[in-house]
Amino acid sequence: MFVGVCGYGATGSSAVVGLLKEYPELVVCDKSEIQEAFKVDGLQDLEYHLVKQYSRHISGDAAIVRFKKSITYYKTPVVKKTIPPEKYIKAANEFVDSLIQGSWYGIDNIDYNTGHPFLNFIILLYKKLVFPNYEKLTGHSFDHWPARKMYLSINPEGFYEKAKCYTDELIRASGADPEQTVVFDQVFEGNAPQNCFPFFRDPKAIVVDRDPRDLWLVSKYARDAKGEARFMPRQDVKVFVEYYKRLRENQERKDTDRILFVRFEDVIYNYDETVKRIEAFLGCENHAEPKKYFKPEISINNTRLMDRYPQCKKEIEYIEKMLPEYLFDFSKYPKVDYSGVMF
């Protein structure tokens, strides 16, 4: 079984990952990330452009080119890699190459829609003048820059099985056995984890969400959160509310046999009940080391932050007015003693 703990960004998925590390029957890969399924130019984009809605051969060619470019991220120096680069690059190239049904040298629209007007002009100049004149004089095809290798990939055979084999290899490269029950953080998008399921064997998702008031304050005061949460709107609370609402509004937040919804606050304030829900969902019961990795007494300092930042009262009131259905009822529980550390 492949278990993906996911959220919407800074909503507390790492807390559940920490909790699951306390079960010896689960292999938790908390140091590795596999975001291939939902990242831009990842598996979902390949699925759409090669299988679901290919446009002539153009979309498949463009999708493969962009996927191949995305692989080069693992060649970036200094940046921490969560999977050994040589293993990642080998697995990714073998996967994408297995989807290619043919290749040739040529040029297409995407080659002169680069976002750089002068470069576009040069490439078009080659296309209109250099290519035809060279071929007229030599009788040979011009197979040099800006011509490039183009790819044919239309409804490639065994796409989903090849994708599963690819993610199996990434799991192995992370030091785990895909035949076991493995747990990864942020492998699915929290707003639609089911879109990633076709690329993994026996997938399940635990989606973790968080009170918008706390999330706004974590974003606004990212300096207090180890510098994280800078990807969210943090200057204008109205933009944040729109961001929070639209990210969730089209999602049916209902538990199924494949998806479990958990609130970050419930893992802390309703610990025993939430642990039982997670155990029933995953079929695990040997909680051998409770509170060794996930410590509710520490994580509680990341909740009810409106008391920590009283200067944001008006912003909090606006969030309460606009997003009442997403609020956690803190009034049922004692106030937090903020003398403890946040993380």
pLDDT in tens, 198-255: 999 999 999 999 999 999 999 888 766 555 667 898 899 999 999 999 999 999 999 9
b/e for 237-246, b at 16 or more Cβ within 10 A?
Answer: beebbebbee
pLDDT band at 108 (very low <50, low <70, confident <90, very high): very high
pLDDT band at 76 (very low <50, low <70, confident <90, very high): confident
Q: How many CA atoms lie within 13 A of 219 on its CB side?
A: 24
Which is more confidently placed, 140 or 340? 140
pLDDT band at 74 (very low <50, low <70, confident <90, very high): confident
Span(s) in the chain for CATH 3.40.50.300: 2-32+175-328
What local confidence, expressed as pLDDT, does residue 341 receive? 57
Which is more confidently placed, 271 or 230? 271
Q: Which CATH architecture has domain 2-32+175-328?
A: 3-Layer(aba) Sandwich (3.40)
Whether 294 contacts 287, CB under 8 Å: no
Whether 239 contacts 233, CB under 8 Å: yes
Q: Give the H/E segment covering residue 244.
A: helix 237-248
What is the phi/psi pair of residue 22, to 5°? -85, 0
Read off the pTM: 0.91
How far apart CA 107 and CA 62 sit, in angstroms, is: 11
How far apart CA 60 and CA 258 sit, in angstroms, is: 31
pLDDT in tens, 285-322: 999 999 999 999 999 999 999 999 999 999 999 999 99
Which is more confidently placed, 222 or 54? 54
The two structure tokens encoding residue 79: 């940046």
Give the count of beta carbons closer than 10 Å to the beta carbon of residue 69: 10
Q: Which amino acid is at 238?
A: K
The chain-wide mean pLDDT, for the chain, equals 93
% of the chain at pLDDT higher than 70: 96
What local confidence, expressed as pLDDT, does residue 184 receive? 96
- The reply to whether omega before 156 is within 30° of 0 (cis) is no
* Residue 340: pLDDT over 50: yes
What local confidence, expressed as pLDDT, does residue 343 receive? 47
pLDDT band at 31 (very low <50, low <70, confident <90, very high): confident
pLDDT in tens, 152-170: 999 999 999 999 999 999 9
Report CA torsion sign: 173, 176, 181, 187.
negative
Instruction: Return the bridge partners of 2, or none.
Output: 182, 203
Q: Tokens 């073998």: give the residue.
A: 94
What local confidence, expressed as pLDDT, does residue 29 receive? 94
How far apart CA 1 and CA 343 sit, in angstroms, is: 30
How far apart CA 106 and CA 126 sit, in angstroms, is: 12
pLDDT band at 82 (very low <50, low <70, confident <90, very high): confident
* Residue 78: pLDDT over 90: no
The DSSP string of 144-198 is STT-EEEEE-SS-TTHHHHHHHHHHHHHHHTT--TTS-EEEES-S-TT-GGGTGG
